[in-house]
Amino acid sequence: MTDNIPLQPVRHKKRHDNKRRDGCCPWSRCCGGGDFRPRTVWLGHPEKREQRYPRNVINNQKYNFFTFLPGVLFNQFKYFFNLYFLLLACSQFVNELRLGALYTYWVPLGFVLIITIVREAVEEMRCFLRDKEVNSQIYSKLSTRGTVKVKSSGIQVGDLIIVEKTFFPDFYHKGSCFLRTDQLDGETDWKLRLPVACTQRLPTAADLLQIRSFVYAEEPNIDIHNFIGTFTREDGDPPVSESLSIENTLWASTVIASGTVVGVVIYTGKELRSVMNTSNPRHKIGLIDLEVNCLTKILFGALVVVSLVMVALQHFAGRWYLQIFRFLLLFSNIVPISLRVNLDMGKMVFSWMIKKDSKIPGTVVRASTIPEQLGRISYLLTDKTGTLTQNEMVFRRLHLGTVAYGMDSMDEVQSHVFSAYTQPPHDLQASRAPGASKVRKTISSRVHEAVKAIALVHNVTPVYESNGVTDQAEAEQHYEDTCRVYQASSPDEVSLVQWTESVGLTLVGRDQSSMQLRTPSGQILNFTILQAFPFTYESKRMGIIVRDESTGEITFYLKGADVVMAGIVQYNDWLEEECGNMAREGLRVLVVAKKSLTVEQYQDFEARYVQAKLSVHDRSLKVATVIESLEMEMELLCLTGVEDQLQADVRPTLEILRNAGIKVWMLTGDKLETATCTAKNAHLVTRNQDIHVFRPVTTRSEAHLELNAFRRKHDCALVISGDSLEVCLKYYEYEFMELACQCPAIVCCRCAPTQKAQIVRLLQERTGKLTCAVGDGGNDVSMIQEADCGVGVEGKTVFSSVFYFASVPLYQGFLIIGYSTIYTMFPVFSLVLDKDVKSEVAMLYPELYKDLLKGRPLSFKTFLIWVLISIYQGKRILWLFYPMVRNKLHSVTELLSLACYIASLVFLHEFIEIFLIVTSCYLMNLTHVNKWNPPSYSKLTS
């Protein structure tokens, strides 16, 4: 039933840097693409649209039916390594250049291409099926014919949709509710969404179709934290207009907590915030492939030179230009096609070994084309929530200045709270007698005041559910503990309220104007919420003014970060020291204070506050000034310490990565204080390293000053917000990246998904190093796609079902690639199973990983040495074989030499080792790459 469901709106800030996102085809403008513009949307009347809007379909495929084969072939042959073999095979169609059967060239090449095409086809089909499943989801729509069913792909701008606990396109919804946005910004906390006031007086939801109303909304953009719009009802007398903000929206890829909402669709298809924050998938190629591609060009150049020399020795006689091509073909085995087969098969085995590794059970390799990238990673970029942390907050400490309570002494806090609400009045008088313990009375009252303040200063709402279905009408009457679930915009606040419940003071009810607490004796305390001041990034604090209905006392409670609360509370000599001690333990510290107000004081404040909220110019500044008039000489009550539990083995893992020479950057959509605490707690920032918190900057001059301040610090980790990062990259991209790459660790907070991908891309461009991105939610997909190697983990969040960066190929087929391919494949392929050191040794000495970062096994120097070795070996073989060819006895001598070799293995086994050492191995040792420069692991394996 949706008859009594209230309706709700939205707000978004206009982005001046919003980039044009054209469609993927030249006809995108005809399909509703082109430049994004504001729109007027009539409720329930999509036919009244003033412009064309894109269809509400999701398409994550890289190709379509017509572009699949050309696209796959282009991605293969745009590299010289593959193009070389294609030209080689095509040359055999010319009779004058043919050297053998066509299959000896085309079968190996065809095998490689078939593997690639099948792999891409499988991934495209999986992506198509996922898109089809999403586009075919059924929703309920309000229409003049009543409630009808409609597919997701059939939803249009202006439709009124009924939604229950599911994902959905961007819309305004009817009914206050909580939703989670972890797939957009990585935050798993519940966010409150409010209704449009003028629609709440309608008898039923169906009456929305009878009124004449519309929504004016800003143009689509990537900003998920802001919205600008208005709601207008024209058939009223007078007409009613309301402003819409982010508090009135429900974006796509968000989840509502419970109940049912009704909303008008504003954006669809590629105009969705979630789609605009997702980058297009790109074709990835491994670093080894690129290096081999470069070396192939060198070999081809050498091949051309040798061919010219051979023709020159013949004095360019006859059709010398044709002879050049023939020599090119004759010497083409210098770059054997079996090398490509070896690479593909080796990567397949590497992927299979990773999947079957018992030490990392459940691992799924979705990219068998780039597993070797894991051995060359220089930068690891990781999400925070659900990846480094479990996003489960646990209350750890209550500090009152003279006494502190940890997890092992919470029973003492509980006894103080119990005595405060259960001690009879005459016992309270007795406790004030001269002989009573003054210390005990003081501590008890201070504990009680602190717990009471923590139970009141928050934005938490208790919701009662029965068998998974909200039943407020019955469950809330009895405040059943088993049915209660806390919902809030911050998991920190939930942990605080859960802690007050554990010590005896329970939040049992709350709405926009009142709050109810239950004491240990079962008594219900009623408080009226007079004003509430939510937390903001600028203020770093939140407050609330409540009136105790039993006594009439008006109290202003405030909690916030120590850096701002230190100047608000009364003078004390312990706040700074204890905050530092708790922060070093990795705890999130909040300072709680209070101030008692008389009726006259509150009425004076309320009048000034209402007047400031009505201001047209500088409204936010005037409102903040009025609130700050209360924030003076407040009584310091306590400090609270909350710990965000880390994932298993996060600290030793980060330490191993750091010792291996890998720099770790944390990119998160969470708040600055939260990200900083997690960085300390996870030891992303070591204890002996300083942290530079980048000031919020909005202009070029501010960014210049802050960059200079940061430049003067050495071996210092950096913490920066997404907004400040955007300003720095706009004006000082090169300077900022130069400083950032010198930092031991970087923490970027309040990052949008596209910003995460932008940081990865800049790292790749500025450093030329390989990057790896790790995340667990849909907001991490863009970052994972952009990185050279992407890792998706199952963390706390709802895991995204769409990952574009990889595929799981199935290699099946019959290998007919000729004698040379098979003969040369297995000796080289056997190196896949080679191990320099044991895995235990590698984990014990992570510094060994630094050798891999240098890329010496495939450097130009190493390549040149092995080329010289191969020339030497070729000369020795030719020197032994040439007399047999000259005397035309090669067939007989081949059989004879084979028989002698077999006989020598049987009869001369005692001498064969010495012979090999003298004639072959010793000569090889003279030119061995690592003879004078042994690897760092040589001492560990000796």
Query: In angstroms, what is the C-alpha Rg of the chain?
Result: 35
The reply, when asked if residue 695 is annotated as ligand binding, is no
What is the rounded distance in angstroms from the CA atom of residue 169 to the CA atom of residue 10? 13
| Marked catalytic residue, from 182, 289, 383, 492 | 383
Dihedral sign from CA coordinates of 881, 887, 892, 897: negative
What is the rounded distance in angstroms from the CA atom of residue 161 to the CA atom of residue 170? 11
What is the rounded distance in angstroms from the CA atom of residue 355 to the CA atom of residue 90? 38
The reply, when asked if residue 588 is annotated as ligand binding, is yes
The reply, when asked if residue 180 is annotated as ligand binding, is no
* H-only helix segments in 266-409: 273-276, 287-313, 320-330, 338-355
Strands 635-646 and 663-667, by their bridges, are unpaired
Angle (CA) 134-136-139 rounded to 5° is 100
- Alpha-carbon dihedral angle through residues 170, 174, 179, 185, given to the nearest 10 degrees: 30
Write the CB contacts of 8 (distance below 8 Å, at least 6 apart in sequence).
172, 173, 174, 175, 176, 177, 193, 194, 195, 196, 248, 250, 261, 263
What is the rounded distance in angstroms from the CA atom of residue 609 to the CA atom of residue 716? 42
The reply, when asked if residue 383 is annotated as ligand binding, is yes
What is the rounded distance in angstroms from the CA atom of residue 271 to the CA atom of residue 54? 7
What is the rounded distance in angstroms from the CA atom of residue 203 to the CA atom of residue 760? 52
Type of residue numbered 93:
F
Instruction: List strands edge to edge, sheet with 190-193.
Output: 190-193, 177-180, 255-256
Helix (H) or strand (E) holding 913: helix 909-916
The reply, when asked if residue 779 is annotated as ligand binding, is yes
Asked if 644 and 393 touch (Cβ cutoff 8 Å), the reply is yes
Please state, as a whole number, how many other Cβ atoms lie within 10 Å of the Cβ of residue 840.
8
Strands 160-164 and 138-143, by their bridges, are antiparallel
The reply, when asked if residue 181 is annotated as ligand binding, is no
The secondary structure of 374-425, three-state, reads HHCEEEEEECCECCCEEEEEEEEEEECCCCEECHHHHHHHHHHHHHHHHCCH
The reply, when asked if residue 769 is annotated as ligand binding, is no
The reply, when asked if residue 559 is annotated as ligand binding, is yes
DSSP string, 201-242: T-SSGGGGGTS-EEEEEPPP-S-SS-B-EEEEESSSSS-EEE
Residue linked to tokens 């934005």: 459
What is the rounded distance in angstroms from the CA atom of residue 806 to the CA atom of residue 813? 22
Write the CB contacts of 316 (distance below 8 Å, at least 6 apart in sequence).
none
Asked if 148 and 252 touch (Cβ cutoff 8 Å), the reply is no
What is the rounded distance in angstroms from the CA atom of residue 154 to the CA atom of residue 268? 10
Per the annotation, the verdict on 383 as an active-site residue is: yes
Asked if 162 and 262 touch (Cβ cutoff 8 Å), the reply is yes
Phi, psi of 690 (to 5 degrees): -85, 160
The reply, when asked if residue 698 is annotated as ligand binding, is no
Helix and strand numbers, DSSP H then E, in the chain: 32, 31
Asked if 691 and 676 touch (Cβ cutoff 8 Å), the reply is yes
For helices 103-135 and 80-91, angle between their N-to-C axes, nearest 10 degrees: 130
The reply, when asked if residue 678 is annotated as ligand binding, is no
The reply, when asked if residue 493 is annotated as ligand binding, is yes
Asked if 557 and 452 touch (Cβ cutoff 8 Å), the reply is no
Please state, as a whole number, how many other Cβ atoms lie within 10 Å of the Cβ of residue 105.
24
- DSSP code of residue 99: -
Phi, psi of 865 (to 5 degrees): -65, -45
Which residues belong to the active site? 383
Binding-site residues: 383-385, 493, 535, 559, 588, 668-670, 750, 756, 776, 779-780
Binding-site residues for ATP: 383-385, 493, 535, 559, 588, 668-670, 750, 756, 779-780
Binding-site residues for Mg(2+): 383, 385, 776, 780
